[in-house]
A and B are shown apart, each in its own frame.
Chain A
Amino acid sequence: MSAAATAIATSPRDSVENWPLLDRVGYYAAWTAGVALIVVAATIVIYLAIKGAQYFDLGMFTESPTADIDQSKSGGFKDPLLGTILLTVMATAIAAPIGVAIAVWLTEYGRPAWLARAVESGIEVVAGTPSIVLAIFGLLVFQQQALGFLSFEAEGNAVFGRSFIAAATMMSLIALPLVVGGTREALHAIPGHVREASYALGKTKAATIRRVLLPAARPGIGTGTALGMGRVAGDTAIVIVLLGATLQIQRGSDGLFGLFRGTGSTMTSYVFFNSPAGEGNAPEKAYLAAFVLLIVVMILNFAITRIARGRQVSWSR
């Protein structure tokens, strides 16, 4: 490249038209990629909004789905909607405390170093495992005879291995890396002198973590947890393999625990079944359900942004 060309390329005030060809191609490619993303996102939302509005029916929210060829009799998605909420809450209830504990140990203790590295690798492995693999593995675990009480058992003690507990446990592994990541980031953002200030007032490390660090990290914990909830609400593979994907919620007789060891479906599996690929074959219901799911996840994402932005605290460094 000539000296003149270099000078032109590095001068930021020049208009794009004067740039060397290669630079212009790169610039327009980057610009196009950005705009294309907006187009895709907008198309998804608008298309689903139109389809959803077209098939909107309040009855869909209050009727349980039934298996019927006649689509006017196949009901709504009350059970899948409840299933999504229940599964998300259960998975979060498992993932959040464990994730925070892992992050606190990694950030504040992390000794011996080899163990900390191993834990980090473990998180990466869990984060990188496709959910269908987690699902199959979960089935293997929860079909063990010893864990039979966590799901239904058939005649002759064959363990079904599919239940809200089983699905929520494996779902929590999806949310876990996000909770750990959010918490670690928040703890790293707290300057060291804030910890020392607490020690210098005669507090132990444990008291410092409980009373200073965790409250300060709360926005980060909230962000990670909300991100994890979004992932849990959106996953299909684990629902189909581990939740039984029964159209209606099937619960055991023993109260709340009976519900937990029961089976059900979620909005994602409902969309799958009613899509042309599934057995229900009611695309219009799938569209409405997909739109509702999209709204739920978008509200969750909006909440994340608010949490992260709203309560940020900052120290001088």
Chain B
Amino acid sequence: MEPVAPPTLDERDVILTPPPPVRRILVDREPNVVPPGPGRPNGAAPSTPSTLTATRRPDASPGPKIERMRADDVSIAYGDKEAVSDVTVPVRQGEVLALIGPSGCGKTTLLRSFNRLVEITPTASRTGVISLDGEDVDSMEVTALRRRVSMVFQQPNPFPMSVFDNVAYALREQGSRRPGKEELIDPVADALERAGLWDEVGDTLDHPALRLSGGQQQRLCIARALAARPEVLLLDEPCSALDPRSTQVIEELILRLRDEVAVVIVTHNMQQALRIADHVGFMYLGELVEYGPADQVFGAPREIRTREYVGGAFG
């Protein structure tokens, strides 16, 4: 194997070097070739997807930055195998935190520990403290915690019920269908509006959610997660199953949401992180190698491993 030359590029070149094509597009239900017509809702989409020419979107949110969650010395192991080791990272409202890194580096495991979803895996064990607004999450009722720290998954997974019932799901009591439609229509409409889906599904709330397109399904999942007014929104590669246009819509949505909820996004796609993140955590083999403002991590990484990864040298 050829010895890798030490990177001598300046910051600008590092940004512009295209990373390896790590993105997998599994679902492609929306036409992303045909430019949208003039009457199209959310018609802001340009005819050329900007996905391949990563440029920083609006730099900083004007709102205040409040620390909502914090992981302190968190280590997580599956059986004997340590997946996350000694990670300390803050999660702030008003900004987007992106966790990047190669497959199997522990970023999803870390994300799933924020809402204690990692506990579902029988072999998983965790040390360290994760707190939400200063309160240890381990001391909280897990169902209450998960209403405050909501999550959206890699695959769009609306439940096999109507659009309305999907969004109302978190608002209803455990296993119940009450309260009824009249009482919930306002919060449901509000959540759909915040997820940018109201214009498209407002008239067809009783249609089955699984009939929507992949991108709409994923925004429905975001609306579903927003309905209970969570403080933190966890996104686990939310765009990896979507076409570029849907991806763009969701990225714009994430930027709009960061003022009202703290957003953590796990992504394989460094260009996506570059486009939407305010802070970036680079994880490698379970360690948080580097954490910092997105401009710094992508522009002037302190660690050589970060530099090699964002430069596309490995991963």
Contact = CB atoms under 8 A, between A and B. Distances in A.
Contact of B157 (A197, A202, A203, A206): A197
B117 A201 contact: no
Contact of A204 (B143, B156, B234): B143
Given A202-B143, A203-B174, A204-B143, A197 B153 contact: yes
Contacts of B143: 202-204
Given A193-B153, A201-B225, A211 B214 contact: no
Nearest to B29: A316
Interface string B146-173: 1100110111110111000000011000
B157 A313 contact: no
B153 A210 contact: no
Contacts of B27: 316
A207 B157 contact: no
Contacts of B161: 215
B150 A201 contact: yes
A203 B221 CA distance: 15
Nearest to A200: B151
Given A199-B120, A202-B143, A211 B169 contact: yes
Contacts of A197: 151, 153, 157, 159, 221, 224
Q: Which secondary structure characterizes the binding site on chain B?
A: mixed
B218 to A, nearest CB: 10
Contacts of B175: 203-204, 206-207, 210-211
B115 interface: yes
A138 B77 CA distance: 53
Given A201-B146, A313-B210, A315-B210, A196 B153 contact: yes
Contacts of A196: 117, 120, 151, 153
Contact of A316 (B117, B156, B224): B156
A316 B120 contact: no
Interface in A237-287: none
Contacts of A211: 159, 169, 175
Contacts of B5: none
**How many B residues are at the interface, by size bracket?**
20 to 34
Contacts of A199: 117, 120, 146
Contact of A207 (B120, B150, B174): B174
A316 B241 contact: yes
Nearest to B115: A200
Contacts of B234: 200
A108 to B, nearest CB: 12
B144 interface: yes
Contacts, number: 85
A141 interface: no
A114 to B, nearest CB: 16
A215 B225 CA distance: 21
B33 interface: no
Interface in B207-242: 208, 210, 214, 221, 224-225, 228, 234, 241
Nearest to B214: A316
Contacts of A201: 146-147, 150, 169-170, 224-225, 228
A170 to B, nearest CB: 34
Contact of A202 (B170, B208, B214, B221): B170
Nearest to B156: A316
Nearest to B144: A202
B155 A191 contact: yes
Contact of A200 (B144, B150, B155): B150
A176 to B, nearest CB: 26
B9 interface: no
A206 B170 CA distance: 14
Contacts of A212: 159-160
Nearest to A192: B120
A62 B119 CA distance: 63
A314 interface: yes
B26 interface: yes
Given A193-B154, A314-B210, A316-B241, A202 B159 contact: no
Given A215-B160, A313-B160, A316-B214, A206 B174 contact: yes
Contacts of B144: 202
A211 B117 CA distance: 19
Contact of B26 (A200, A216, A316): A316
A215 B177 CA distance: 13
Interface in A272-317: 313-317
A203 B26 CA distance: 29
12 contacts: A193-B155, A194-B157, A196-B153, A200-B115, A200-B234, A201-B146, A201-B225, A202-B144, A203-B174, A313-B160, A315-B155, A315-B157
Given A200-B151, A202-B144, A215-B160, 14 more contacts: A194-B159, A197-B153, A201-B225, A203-B143, A204-B143, A204-B174, A204-B175, A211-B175, A212-B159, A215-B159, A313-B210, A316-B155, A316-B156, A316-B214
Q: List the 8 closest pairs (A to B, CB-CB), nearest first.
A: A207-B175, A202-B147, A200-B151, A202-B146, A207-B174, A201-B170, A202-B143, A210-B175
